[in-house]
Structure 1
Amino acid sequence: MSAALALYRRLAPWPGGRGLYSRLICFRAPYFATIAPRFVVLEPGRCEARIRDRRRVHNHLGTVHAIALCNLAELAAGVMTDATIPADMRWIPKGMSVEYLKKAVGTMHGIATPELAAPVSGDGYEWPVKVEVADDAGEMVFRARVLMWVSPRKRG
């Protein structure tokens, strides 16, 4: 089990545990603090995270900025990947394609799931992750496909 998944399982049951987990993830990867995510679900094969509707994630039109949605997608895809792949493997995003489906207004809820079953080992492989982001009404506003590069951890 990955350290990120083990920590989530330890903290999530406690009051404020998911918020603390979210802050710790942002401490590890500081750029994601710009969207102040909150993890809702984390298990192998699934990560759900939210970002609240607030001025710091808005564009000039008052809607959630396209790059804030991309950040949510990359974060959810990365944490899901980490929770799913074998502990002796590592990952990095290799590419991302996105679709903006409608104006993003309100709290955004992103769900990352793998497109394929994760191979158990290998020299390195591409692994596509689907991320769907919906608004408060449950309507899809954004969709992304994040291509992860998964490879063995270097020893030593």
Structure 2
Amino acid sequence: MDRALALTGVADLAERGAEHLSGGQLQRVWLAGCLAQETGVLLLDEPTNHLDLRYQVELLDLMRDLADDHGIAVGAVLHDLDQAAAVADRVVLLDAGRVIADGDPEDVLTPQRLTDTYGIRIDVETDPLTGRLRTRAIGRHHSRSERLSTTS
């Protein structure tokens, strides 16, 4: 258990009740409980759901650390395409429970495939600083600021 608490960075929270923990702390404590079972596989369903940005990033970093440094296979359902692209070695894109594509994020998360799957325009670019994919869903009002600036 000590190893699991240390890996997840919650050793100092071990004596606190759940009612005194933030959402991010609760997620990490829950994850420590899973790791304490000494499993080689973790399957996570929306682990960043309801977390503020800091705890989302910390949890994604932890997932990557567990895979890279501790040999734990981590599978996660993530609806945030940028999060998936940032941490996944492999992505499976589903539509109504059907596999649309499976492979490297760069091969799966293409503009045409995402646009077809989600039914809205989705742009994909490579971040020049990180080399990771970034996605941007384009809604009807996306260019609103451009329209407003040309009418002023």
Decide: shared fold, TM above 0.5.
Answer: no
The one of the two structures with greater contact order (alpha-carbon pairs below 8 A, sep at least 6) is 1
TM-score by length of 1: 0.29
Q: TM-score, normalised by structure 2?
A: 0.29
Instruction: Point out the structure with max Rg over C-alpha.
Output: 2
Whichever structure has more helix as a proportion of its residues is 2
